[in-house]
Amino acid sequence: MKMKPLIFATAIWMLVGNVTTLQAEVPQAGVSAAQHPFLEWGGEYPRWSALTPQQAVADIRQAIELAKKRMEAICQVQPGQATWENTFAAYDALDVELGYADQLMSNLAYLMDSPEWRAAMEEVSPMLAEYSASVSSHERLWAVLRAASTQSWVRQLSPARQRFVQQVMDSFKDSGADLPAEKKARKLEIEKELSALKLQFDKNCKDSFNAWQLVVTDKAQLAGMSAEWMSRAAAKAQERGFGTPENPQWLITLDYASVVDVLRFCDVEETRRLCWEGRGTEGNTPEYDNAPVVDRVMALRRELATLLGFGTYADKVTARRMVGSGAAALEFVDNLMRSSKPAFDRDVAQLLEFASKREGRRLSQIDPWDVSYYMSQMSEEVCGFDSEALRPYHKKENVLAGMFSIYEGLFNIRISEVPTSCPQPGEQLPAGVQEVWLPEVKLYAIHDVATGRHMGSVYMDLHPRDTKRDGAWVMGLRHYPVVNGQRPPHLCVLVCNLKSPTEGKPALFTHMDVLTIFHEFGHALHSMLSDTELYSHAGTRVARDFVELPSQMNENWVWIPEGVMAYARHWQTEEPLPAEMLVKLQQNRFFLPGIDMMSQLRMAKLDLEMHMNYESKFRGRNLDDASRELLEPWNLPLSKSGPSIMRCLSHCISSGYAAGYYSYKWAEVLAADAFTRFEQEGPTNTQTGAAFRREVLSTGGSRNEMETFRAFMGRDPNPDALLQQQGMNP
**Average pLDDT estimate for 247-262:** 95
Residue 409: pLDDT band (50, 70, 90) is very high
Q: Rounded to an integer, what distance in angstroms lies between the CA atom of residue 246 and that of residue 226?
A: 19
Query: Helices (H) and strands (E) in the chain — how many of each?
Result: 28, 9
Q: Rounded to an integer, what distance in angstroms lies between the CA atom of residue 303 and that of residue 326?
A: 16
Q: Per-residue pLDDT for 390 more than 80?
A: yes
Residue 165: pLDDT band (50, 70, 90) is very high
Residue 32: pLDDT band (50, 70, 90) is low
Lowest model confidence (mean pLDDT) among 218-222, 227-231, 553-557, 701-705: 227-231
> Which secondary structure element, helix H or strand E, spans residue 182, and what is its range?
helix 181-211
Q: Per-residue pLDDT for 324 more than 70?
A: yes
> What is the distance, to the nearest Å, from the Cα of residue 574 to the centroid of all Cα atoms in its chain?
33
CB contact at 8 A, 461 and 494: yes
Question: Model's pTM, two decimal places?
Answer: 0.90
pLDDT of residue 3: 46
Q: 684-714 pLDDT, tens per residue?
A: 999 999 999 999 999 999 999 999 999 999 9
pLDDT of residue 14: 32
Query: Is the model more confident about 237 or about 2?
Result: 237
**Average pLDDT estimate for 248-267:** 95
Eight-class DSSP state of 419:
P
Q: Per-residue pLDDT for 26 more than 80?
A: no
> What is the distance, to the nearest Å, from the Cα of residue 64 to the centroid of all Cα atoms in its chain?
26
Q: 42-91 pLDDT, tens per residue?
A: 668 999 999 999 999 999 999 999 999 999 999 999 989 999 999 999 99
**Average pLDDT estimate for 681-685:** 97
CB contact at 8 A, 542 and 9: yes
Q: Per-residue pLDDT for 272 more than 60?
A: yes
Q: Per-residue pLDDT for 27 more than 50?
A: no
Burial of 215 (0-12, 13-18, 19+ CB in 10 A): middle
Residue 730: pLDDT band (50, 70, 90) is low
Give DSSP secondary structure letters for 425-487.
TT----TT-EE-SSTT-EEEEEEETTT--EEEEEEEE-S--TTS-SS-EEEEEE----BTTB-
CB contact at 8 A, 384 and 398: no
Distances (CA, A) of 242 to 224, 236, 253, 268: 22, 9, 13, 21
CB contact at 8 A, 137 and 75: no
CB contact at 8 A, 30 and 62: no
Q: Rounded to an integer, what distance in angstroms lies between the CA atom of residue 320 and that of residue 366?
A: 42
Tell me the pLDDT of the chain averaged across its residues: 93
Task: Label each residue of 68-128 as H, E or C.
Answer: HHHHHHHHCCCHHHCCCHHHHHHHHCCCHHHHHHHHHHHHHHHHCCCHHHHHHHHHHHHHH
Task: Label each residue of 621-685 as H, E or C.
Answer: CCHHHHHHHHHHHHCCCECCCCCCHHHCCHHHHCCCCCCCCHHHHHHHHHHHHHHHHHHHHCCCC
**Average pLDDT estimate for 524-547:** 96
Residue 382: pLDDT band (50, 70, 90) is confident
Eight-class DSSP state of 590:
T
Q: Of 11, 28, 2, nearest to 136 (Cα)?
A: 2
pLDDT of residue 179: 93
CB contact at 8 A, 25 and 121: no
Q: Per-residue pLDDT for 307 more than 80?
A: yes
pLDDT of residue 17: 30
Residue 502: pLDDT band (50, 70, 90) is confident
Percent above pLDDT 90 for the chain: 88
Give the Cβ contact number of residue 633 at 10 Å: 10
pLDDT of residue 426: 81
> Phi then psi for 195, rounded to 5 degrees?
-60, -45
Alpha-carbon Rg for the chain, nearest whole angstrom, is 25
Strand 420-421 with 454-461, pairing = unpaired
Lowest model confidence (mean pLDDT) among 22-36, 394-408, 427-441, 663-677: 22-36
Percent above pLDDT 70 for the chain: 95
Alpha-carbon dihedral sign for residues 303, 307, 308, 309: positive
> Phi then psi for 505, rounded to 5 degrees?
-135, 145
**Average pLDDT estimate for 512-516:** 96
pLDDT of residue 504: 80
Q: Per-residue pLDDT for 12 more than 70?
A: no
pLDDT of residue 41: 67
Residue 167: pLDDT band (50, 70, 90) is very high
pLDDT of residue 427: 86
pLDDT of residue 622: 97
Q: Per-residue pLDDT for 633 more than 50?
A: yes
Lowest model confidence (mean pLDDT) among 3-12, 323-332, 463-472: 3-12
Q: Rounded to an integer, what distance in angstroms lies between the CA atom of residue 351 and that of residue 442?
A: 42
Domains of the chain with bracketed CATH? 212-279 (no CATH), 326-385+598-725 (1.10.1370.10), 391-588 (1.10.1370.40)
